[in-house]
Structure 1
Amino acid sequence: MLERLNQAMEYIERHLDQRIEVTELARIAVTSEYHFRRLFSALAGVPLSEYIRRRRLTVAGAEVLAGAETLLDVAVRYGYGSGEAFARAFRAVHGVGPGEARRTGAALRAQPRLSFRLIVEGSGSMRYRIVEKDAFHLVGRRARVPLVHEGMNPAIVEFVKSVDKETVRRIEALSDQEPQGIVNASDNLAGSRAEGTELDYWYAVATGAAPDDLDVLAVPAGVWAVFESSGPFPQTLQYLWRDVFTLWFPSNPYRSRPGPEISRTRLSDDGSQADAELWIPVERVTG
């Protein structure tokens, strides 16, 4: 998988002055467009579209300083319809306009070319199982919140506090299948996983019921990879999610598929430790 990702990175480099289709990158990596976007952002720490933009403007910056072509020629080559649009994008990345950079020889910022390799750290193993699950509902309360990679998410904390105790009891009583009890789920996340990206957060249970007076998400039947970990909260769950995408997916014959990502967390009495379970919708890679 990592070799195929690096082939996709090579394709990007050869086509920085052309339109780059994510479908072609996914074809090279032998995976779905959905999984490619998510895997890339998890591994690279930056959305695919942002990486391509930065690489284009890095190469364009070198050509601006070289002075062999007009600024408009450079702008058009890298996909900008006008000098003004190019100047805005150039300044956003480099902190200086292309004209000034050429006149003064200003120092520019560079986005290094990415390549991926597997680094084995420690001797721990990931506990996981593969589950085939019938269609079910997530039933509870939903809110639109920004993504936070590390530490507590203030928007989620405030949202959960806003759910009254009677509603919590009603939701919990509907739980009738795995994952048992109240869970947290993320769905409808934009293609990137950049900090601040908005997503639907669910405080809900997995159930066959679909009451009219609660928020309901219908989840189709499919295969799930279920991961388990224990340790400090909330780092344990956040690091588990990171390791799933950066370590497990690249070395296993599965890819993520559209659907909610569900976590079940049980805290210690003082709230400092957690037993975490993460459910990721997956499909087996064929061929």
Structure 2
Amino acid sequence: MISMLNQLVDLVEEHLTDEIDVGAWARALGTTEHHLRRVFSSLAGMPLSEYVRRRRMTLAATDVVSGREDLLSIAVRYGYGSSEAFGRAFRSVHGTGPAHARREGGPLRAQPHLKFHLTVEGSAPMHVRILDHPAFRLAGHAARVPLTRSGVNPHIAEHVASVPEAEHRRLKALSEMEPAGLLAVSDDLDPDRAEGSELTHLHAVALRRDTPVPEGLDGVEVPAGAWAVFRSAGPHPATLQQTWAATATQWFPSNPWRLRPGPEIVAVLERSEDFSVATCELWLPVEAG
């Protein structure tokens, strides 16, 4: 996986003034765009799209300051259809517009060419099971919310709190199969997992495929396939979020599995009364790499 990511950033470097086709690159590297973007984002600490933008603007800054071309020509070379769009991208990286940078020579911020290296970690074992699971349905209450990478997501907390207590009990009684109990489901995720990007959060339970979704509930069809199920226990949600990150930084790079499209599910097995400590299972849809 490390070699694959380094090949990816080399391809980005070679095509900074061309159209970026991550899907084609992923196929050539023997993986999927879904998996490649997720692992890149987790290891680099930024979405692939953000890295591409920063690298383009790093190189564009040299062209801007040199003064050899007009700004529109530079904008077009780096894939922007207007000086205004180029200016917004330039300003978001450098904190100043290209005209000002040309006059004053800066300030400018550089995004180095990334290189991934293997760091031996993982002295603490990850508790994971792989299972083939039949197709099933998720049924519950859905809401579109922005993604947050750390801490409690206030939008999800607000959504769950808005569900009446009687409805929580009703949902829990509907649960028919693993993953059991009330579930926190993330679906329709942005491929890059960008902070603030929208996802569908479903406060839900798992039903057998032939069970109709009860009236008043939102449903998601989940096809049959393999799942990697990771167990975490400790302060919540920090331990769960650390486990989520470790799947990309430790488990996927050292195991012959990759993510496939589908919902990501958290099942809470045990928790303290105030939810400050919890034992959870994180269900990720996978396929053989």
TM-score by length of 1: 0.94
Alpha-carbon shift at residue 280 of structure 1 (Å): 0.2
SS at match of 2:106: coil
Match of 2:285?
A: 281
Structure 1 residues 172 and 23: alpha-carbon distance in aligned structure 2, compared to 1, 3 A threshold: same
SS at match of 1:271: coil
Moved more, 189-198 or 216-225: 189-198
1:248 corresponds to which of 231, 251, 260? 251
Match of 2:220?
A: 217
- Structure 1's consecutive aligned runs of 4 or more residues displaced over 4 angstroms after TM superposition are none
Contact kept? 2:148, 2:195, Cα under 8 Å = yes
Match of 1:91?
A: 91
Match of 1:150?
A: 150
Matched residue type, 1:231 = G
Match of 1:20?
A: 20
Q: Aligned partners of 1:117, 1:35: CA distance in 2, in Å?
A: 19
1:272 aligns with 2:273: no
SS at match of 1:224: strand
Q: Aligned partners of 1:233, 1:92: CA distance in 2, in Å?
A: 34
Structure 1 residues 142 and 84: alpha-carbon distance in aligned structure 2, compared to 1, 3 A threshold: closer
SS at match of 1:149: coil
TM-score by length of 2: 0.93
Alpha-carbon shift at residue 47 of structure 1 (Å): 1.6
Contact kept? 1:140, 1:202, Cα under 8 Å = yes
Match of 2:139?
A: 139
Once the two structures are superposed, the pairs formed by residues 60-139 of structure 1 within 5 Å of their partners are 60-121=60-121, 123-139=123-139
Match of 1:226?
A: 229
Contact kept? 2:122, 2:250, Cα under 8 Å = no
SS at match of 2:233: strand
Figure out how many residues of one structure are paired with residues of the other and give that number: 285
List runs of 5+ in structure 2 lacking aligned partners. none
Q: Aligned partners of 1:212, 1:237: CA distance in 2, in Å?
A: 32
Alpha-carbon shift at residue 18 of structure 1 (Å): 1.2
SS at match of 1:96: coil
SS at match of 2:215: coil
Contact kept? 1:5, 1:29, Cα under 8 Å = no
Contact kept? 1:187, 1:201, Cα under 8 Å = yes
Q: Aligned partners of 1:203, 1:146: CA distance in 2, in Å?
A: 15
SS at match of 2:221: strand
SS at match of 2:283: strand
Alpha-carbon shift at residue 207 of structure 1 (Å): 1.4
Match of 1:50?
A: 50
Matched residue type, 1:230 = A
Alpha-carbon shift at residue 29 of structure 1 (Å): 3.1
Match of 1:235?
A: 238
Matched residue type, 1:104 = E
SS at match of 1:91: helix
Q: Aligned partners of 1:271, 1:20: CA distance in 2, in Å?
A: 43
Q: Aligned partners of 2:113, 2:50: CA distance in 1, in Å?
A: 13
Q: Aligned partners of 2:84, 2:200: CA distance in 1, in Å?
A: 36
Q: Aligned partners of 1:122, 1:89: CA distance in 2, in Å?
A: 38
1:260 aligns with 2:263: yes
SS at match of 1:53: helix
Q: Aligned partners of 2:221, 2:215: CA distance in 1, in Å?
A: 13
Identical counterparts, % of pairs? 55
Alpha-carbon shift at residue 153 of structure 1 (Å): 1.1
Q: Deviations over 1:236-281 (max 9, x none)?
A: 1111111112211122111111111001122124432211110000
Q: Aligned partners of 1:83, 1:250: CA distance in 2, in Å?
A: 41
Q: Deviations over 1:210-241 (max 9, x none)?
A: 22332211111111000112111110111111
Matched residue type, 1:162 = S
Q: Deviations over 1:72-109 (max 9, x none)?
A: 33222212233333223222221222222122112201
